[in-house]
Structure 1
């Protein structure tokens, strides 16, 4: 369920108030990127050729079972495993590095805490009156 515009604004104000009052605690609550975060890229060539080899192995296995030849069936299983191995070698992963100069978003001008608190309380009182009138 998505937050309404009012709820989003309230959450942003609470976050700003927390970061002003206790910046150390606010930093501990922010999610940190995992050092093991990685992006994966699949090679289409490896994927297609690996799938063809796997289907060929299934065909050889089916042929071996229908002809009651255990060696041909085992050969089909080995071919399927080789096709799967070839597909997995086409997966490349590389670490995701976040640039340190990324702009986290628009910065709000600093206003005195007391005026922000008064604005917040005025908005709360206004919302209370709206709800009470309903």
Structure 2
């Protein structure tokens, strides 16, 4: 259920107030939210495909002669299914440089090659905030 405009405004005000009163906690919560992330439809689709493929490989392992190869094929199928489930339940991985603060400021010297990327990431963050607020 979507929040009303008033409820969204109250939440934004509470976030601002938390940031002003306890910036360390606000930063920790923001970092945790970025790390966890939500799975994308592409990751969910790939996960479902891996689970179905894994089950198909397990069935193929059972269908072939019952020996060492059958067990190995079954284990590979099981591993594919587990990988698919893990892929569906986790959000996209974040690059290591995004979670650290050197790209945001306080950096002297350094190459100019990082600047366009940091501006790009900043624009993306602003767009995300704009979409989230509306």
Name the one with the larger helix percent: 2
Name the one with the larger strand percent: 1
TM-score higher than 0.5: no
Please state which band the TM-score falls in when normalised by the shorter chain.
0.3 to 0.5
Instruction: Name the TM-score, length of structure 1 as normaliser.
Output: 0.37
Larger Rg belongs to: 1
